[in-house]
Amino acid sequence: MDEDFAAHSLTSRLLDVMDQKHHWAYPRLTKPGLSRSQLLAHFQHEHAVYVRDFPVLLARALGQVPPLPDVRAALAENLYEEQTGGLSSTASHPELFLRMMDGLGFDRALFDDGAAELHPSAIGYRDWLREASAREPWQAAVALLTIFVEGSVNERAELGGTFRRSSGREAVSRHPLVVHYGCPEAAMELARAHAAVEGGHRSDAWNILTRHVPEDDGLADGVVETCERALAMWLAYRDGVAERMGLTRERAA
Ligand SMILES: [Fe+2]
Element (H, E) at 28: helix 26-29
CA 179 to ligand 1 centroid distance, Å: 21
CA 129 to ligand 1 centroid distance, Å: 16
Closest alpha carbon to 20 in 179, 228, 205: 228
CA 193 to ligand 1 centroid distance, Å: 8
CA 82 to ligand 1 centroid distance, Å: 5
For 105-152, strand residue ranges (E) read none
Show pLDDT as tens, one digit a residue, over the chain (253 residues): 454 554 579 999 999 999 999 999 999 999 999 999 999 999 999 999 999 999 999 999 999 999 999 999 999 999 999 999 999 999 999 999 999 999 999 999 999 999 999 999 999 999 999 999 999 999 999 999 999 999 999 999 988 888 877 777 888 999 999 999 999 999 999 998 998 888 788 889 999 999 999 877 799 999 999 999 999 999 999 999 999 999 998 755 4
CA 83 to ligand 1 centroid distance, Å: 9
Answer yes or no: are the C-beta atoms of 86 and 80 closer than 8 Å: yes
CA 147 to ligand 1 centroid distance, Å: 13
Closest alpha carbon to 79 in 101, 53, 100: 53
